[in-house]
Chains A and B, each alone.
Chain A
Amino acid sequence: MVLRLLKRTAVFVASIAAATIVVFAFMAVLPGDPAEVALGVNATPEAVAALRAEFGTDRPPVVQYLDWVGSLVTGDFGISYVTRDLIGPQVVDRLLVTLWLVVTSMVLAVLIAVPVGTVMAVRHRGLSGLALSALSQLGIAVPAFLAGILAVAFFAVRLGWLPSGGWTPPNQDPVSFVQHLILPAAALGIAQAAVLARYVRTAVLDVLREDYLRTARAKGLTPYRALLRHGLRNAAIPVSTVLGLQLATLLVGAIVVERVFVIPGLGSLLLDGVANRDLLLVQGVVMVLVVAVLLVNYLVDVLYTALDPRLRTS
């Protein structure tokens, strides 16, 4: 087990190192000069050259890369070309907003998917199971941003129940915070729930066929009792893996949904950064996202080991 963990940790670290190269290379080939964008249409060539020197973008790419990675290791993301502020605190600020959105929609997705998926499995030949399957198919087909636009059109503009967008931090006004969170989290969460429900269904179906569950039922437990007591923990293993993988989808979805709902999160920061060629900022944000996804996968792996006794001994 220790060997397995060490191996996983090495892969985790190596992946991050590889990601820095990929992220930096992509930024380097992106057309457009940060200094030109920052100075706009009135700039003289001398001013652009001076700003390039100030940003350090006139140095060889390798030097820029080493410089960037060197500061990253010490937790320094550098200074934004556009705002001239430290990038680190900006990213943390926006990450908190995005985390609210992602975590809420994840919780929402699990709360919907586990019961729905279980019913779909237990009742897979019945009418309710089929109806839920069809519904989940629809949920998968509709992208989060479209769901978001439709939700705004209906619940905000037409009915006036919820705000059409914007953001209030929880410590400022909790009621307003929840109101602003409902539609975007639902738009993001329901699509995830639909995907997740299908995995739950498969996992539960597999578990239902296991001998130990048949034994449990033979001892007089109803299918749901048997599942609750003996099956769900086993079904949770494949589902937790999927959940980890879905975090990446959620983060990407959040970027789009943030724009639809005017939420000042990491996604908005990233899109603005790309438009402004605020390269250091974009690199920083992308690295945070990459590390988040890799970290979750790593943790899922660890969790996997903890949940499945068979892996501990191998």
Chain B
Amino acid sequence: MPSRLQGVIATSIVALLVTAGCSAGSGTSNPPEQEAKELTVGLIAEPASLDFTRNDGAAIPQALLLNVYEGLVKLDANGKIVPLLAKGYTVSDDRRTYTFTLREGAKFSNDAPFTAEDAAFSINRVKTDWTVSLKAGMDVVDTAVATNPTTLQVTLKQPSNSWLFRMTTRIGAMFSRTGINDLATKPIGTGPYTMKSWKRGDVMTLAANPDYWGTKPPTETVSLKYFKDPTAMNNALLTGSIDVVSSVQAPDSLGQFKDTSKFQIIEGTTNGEVVMSFNDGKAPFTDKRVRQAICYAIDRQAVIDTAWAGHGELIGSMVPPTDPWYEDLSKLYPYDPEKAKTLLAQAGTPKLTLRFRIPNLPYAVAAAQVVKSQLADVGITAQIDVLEFPARWLSEVFTNADYDMSMIAHVEPRDIASWANPKYYWRYDNKQVQKLLAEADSGTEEEQVAKTKQAARILAEDAAADWLFLFPNLIAAKVGVKGLPKNVISEAFDLTAVSKS
């Protein structure tokens, strides 16, 4: 009798596994040669809602900008501002008035045509109805008026290059005057895709817009599947339930995709500068020699090797290589512990103890260990204090500047501007940098490039922070997926050219 009972248990377990195996195994058939109509992309960090006029965070524009919503202008693959819903634009001699000539025939997914009235409405609405902090980018606008159905005139209070750049971000997105009732769940834009469905906590599906004014996207349905856990996302690609891992969160795991007959790895750059910040407003960081000493004491390549498996670029200042004012400043402070010790002795602080308060993010925790041991070699004790991100880090380091050193990736595009703000958490107050960045903003394009470049160089020479490295854009995808954006230059994850064969 007991043996019969045991037998029943054993057979039922085996039967369960076998039936599961049979039914699920059929999913892994060979992909057809022609272009597939569906594609699934794995992403980290799901949007809280679909309304980026009221919800901050990178996830909403990542999914919707360029795909569902379009602006008058966008960034091309090289980081240059090019027309999108505008056919072109002119700038007046005093650089305060922009005249946009709009594309004809573009329409919203609610069938309303896109006109200059909508453009003026969208720009004006940022100031009145948006609640996210980024709306401040529109403060410089004095008036936005439709002079005829295809001409929009925007007058600024003072010249601002950064305004035109911000028009490529979410605040430049064009909305329909009749399509803003339910932005949190039903976004209505002019883009090549429309929102088909969204299962919160799981997957968002975009469908190709049959009435799109421009080149139609090669894939009919793109699903954005959200993962909390990077390992789960990698597994999903390995088992074939997704086609693309949009950003590899643990570069150590890239080895899983080394079979080039099945997978491809795409490596580009991002806007994410991993900055080891100093609290520049208080001792000992008010002494430039201390800041320089720390920069000499750190072997940044060793930091990349530990924190991000050797992937990533050395930068040396707050500028990624895709910005027009990039220059390689990574060799300004080569690894030289002896020089570091000398500088510290000169500064009168041969032995230092610093509060190194970092967020509990994998790269920061890994990199901090390297930094700590290298600083110990030159006589600096770094007391690592790991803070939960975002809540605790934001409140203690970012808001209250209660730290000596910290470390975080600054992912906002063209964020060198934050160095002009003496109240920002690194409390860096340099009148020359502030002046240069202000002039860069109001000058011509050439002036903008020259002055921003100069500001970046001053920051680097002044050792205002230690720019450890630039995050790489690491994408893992099935072989046959084409058109993925190599570099991350804007807020959007551009799906308009992605296809799968």
Interface residues of A (CB under 8 A from B): 30-33, 36-44, 47, 51, 82-85, 90, 93-94, 112, 115-116, 118-119, 122-123, 128, 149, 152, 155-157, 159-167, 175, 178-179, 182, 222, 224, 259-262, 264, 268-269, 271-272, 275-277
A–B complex contacts, Cβ < 8 Å, 20 sampled: A31-B391, A36-B399, A39-B132, A41-B398, A82-B48, A82-B49, A83-B49, A84-B54, A93-B200, A152-B232, A160-B25, A160-B239, A164-B232, A165-B235, A165-B241, A175-B23, A262-B229, A275-B390, A276-B48, A276-B390
Q: Is the CB of B239 within 8 A of A157?
A: yes
| Further contacts, 6 of them, CB under 8 A, given A42-B56, A84-B184 | A39-B133, A82-B55, A112-B9, A155-B20, A164-B239, A262-B228
Complex Cα–Cα for A85 and B183 (A):
13
Decide yes or no whether B227 CB sits under 8 A from chain A. yes
B31 to chain A, nearest CB (A): 15
**Quick one: given A44-B133, A164-B236, are A119 and B2 in contact (CB under 8 Å)?**
yes
Q: Is the CB of A83 within 8 A of B20?
A: no
Q: Is the CB of B239 within 8 A of A163?
A: yes
A84 to chain B, nearest CB (A): 7
What residues of A have a CB within 8 angstroms of the CB of B394 in the complex?
32-33, 36-37, 41
What residues of A have a CB within 8 angstroms of the CB of B133 in the complex?
39-40, 42-44, 47
Complex Cα–Cα for A268 and B388 (A):
18
Most chain B CB inside 10 Å of its own CB: which residue of A43, A159, A269: A43
Complex Cα–Cα for A44 and B424 (A):
10
Q: Is the CB of A85 within 8 A of B391?
A: no
Complex Cα–Cα for A168 and B229 (A):
19
**Quick one: given A83-B49, A115-B5, A222-B1, are A37 and B390 in contact (CB under 8 Å)?**
yes
What residues of A have a CB within 8 angstroms of the CB of B2 in the complex?
119, 122-123, 128, 224
5 nearest interchain CB pairs? A32-B391, A264-B201, A164-B235, A161-B21, A42-B133
**Quick one: given A115-B8, A259-B229, A262-B227, are A277 and B20 in contact (CB under 8 Å)?**
no
What residues of B have a CB within 8 angstroms of the CB of A84 in the complex?
49, 54-55, 184
What residues of A have a CB within 8 angstroms of the CB of B395 in the complex?
31-33, 36
B163 to chain A, nearest CB (A): 16
Complex Cα–Cα for A178 and B240 (A):
18
Closest to B13 in A: A112
What residues of B have a CB within 8 angstroms of the CB of A39 in the complex?
56, 132-133
Mark each residue of chain B from 182 to 203: 1 if its CB lies under 8 Å from any CB of chain A, else 0.
0010000000000000011110
Complex Cα–Cα for A276 and B350 (A):
41
**Quick one: given A40-B57, A119-B5, A128-B6, are A161 and B228 in contact (CB under 8 Å)?**
no
Contact of B16 among A82, A85, A122, A182 (CB under 8 A): A182
Decide yes or no whether B128 CB sits under 8 A from chain A. no
Q: Is the CB of B238 within 8 A of A85?
A: no
Decide yes or no whether B136 CB sits under 8 A from chain A. yes
A168 to chain B, nearest CB (A): 10
Mark each residue of chain B from 206 to 225: 1 if its CB lies under 8 Å from any CB of chain A, else 0.
00000000000000000001
**Quick one: given A128-B2, A182-B20, are A269 and B236 in contact (CB under 8 Å)?**
no
B500 to chain A, nearest CB (A): 19
What residues of B have a CB within 8 angstroms of the CB of A275 in the complex?
390-391
Closest to B51 in A: A84
Complex Cα–Cα for A74 and B297 (A):
61
Count of interface residues, chain B, beta-carbon cutoff 8 Å: 53
What residues of B have a CB within 8 angstroms of the CB of A157 in the complex?
235, 238-239
Q: Is the CB of A163 within 8 A of B49?
A: no
Complex Cα–Cα for A222 and B1 (A):
9
Complex Cα–Cα for A149 and B57 (A):
30
Closest to A166 in B: B241
What residues of A have a CB within 8 angstroms of the CB of B28 in the complex?
160
Complex Cα–Cα for A43 and B1 (A):
71
**Quick one: given A33-B395, A128-B6, A264-B202, are A38 and B56 in contact (CB under 8 Å)?**
yes
A150 to chain B, nearest CB (A): 12
- Which B residues between 367 and 419 are near A, CB-CB below 8 angstroms? 388, 390-392, 394-396, 398-399, 412
- Which B residues between 53 and 78 are near A, CB-CB below 8 angstroms? 54-57
Q: Is the CB of A165 within 8 A of B236?
A: yes
Complex Cα–Cα for A277 and B390 (A):
9
Q: Is the CB of B49 within 8 A of A85?
A: yes
What residues of A have a CB within 8 angstroms of the CB of B49 in the complex?
82-85
Contact of B134 among A31, A42, A83, A115 (CB under 8 A): A42
Closest to A261 in B: B232
Closest to B5 in A: A115
Complex Cα–Cα for A160 and B13 (A):
18
Complex Cα–Cα for A167 and B232 (A):
13
**Quick one: given A33-B395, A123-B2, A152-B235, are A167 and B132 in contact (CB under 8 Å)?**
no
Q: Is the CB of B6 within 8 A of A166?
A: no
Closest to B228 in A: A259
Decide yes or no whether B283 CB sits under 8 A from chain A. no
What residues of A have a CB within 8 angstroms of the CB of B232 in the complex?
152, 164-165, 259-262
Q: Is the CB of A156 within 8 A of B235?
A: yes
- Which B residues between 271 and 313 are near A, CB-CB below 8 angstroms? none
Complex Cα–Cα for A159 and B392 (A):
42
Q: Is the CB of A162 within 8 A of B20?
A: yes
- Which B residues between 221 and 255 are near A, CB-CB below 8 angstroms? 225, 227-229, 231-232, 235-236, 238-241
Complex Cα–Cα for A164 and B24 (A):
11
Contact of B9 among A42, A116, A178 (CB under 8 A): A116
Contact of A167 among B6, B8, B202, B391 (CB under 8 A): B202
A113 to chain B, nearest CB (A): 11
Mark each residue of chain B from 260 to 274: 1 if its CB lies under 8 Å from any CB of chain A, else 0.
000000000000000
Contact of A156 among B1, B55, B200, B239 (CB under 8 A): B239
What residues of A have a CB within 8 angstroms of the CB of B8 in the complex?
115
Q: Is the CB of B56 within 8 A of A159?
A: no
Closest to B201 in A: A264
Complex Cα–Cα for A139 and B452 (A):
62
A236 to chain B, nearest CB (A): 18
What residues of B have a CB within 8 angstroms of the CB of A160 in the complex?
24-25, 28, 239-240
Mark each residue of chain B from 35 to 59: 1 if its CB lies under 8 Å from any CB of chain A, else 0.
0000000000000110000111100
**Quick one: given A42-B56, A82-B48, A115-B9, are A32 and B241 in contact (CB under 8 Å)?**
no
**Quick one: given A161-B25, A166-B202, A259-B228, are A33 and B391 in contact (CB under 8 Å)?**
yes
Complex Cα–Cα for A115 and B232 (A):
34
Complex Cα–Cα for A149 and B229 (A):
12
Complex Cα–Cα for A261 and B49 (A):
23
Complex Cα–Cα for A32 and B396 (A):
8
Q: Is the CB of B24 within 8 A of A269?
A: no
Most chain A CB inside 10 Å of its own CB: which residue of B23, B28, B48: B48
Complex Cα–Cα for A157 and B257 (A):
12
Most chain B CB inside 10 Å of its own CB: which residue of A30, A94, A118, A277: A277
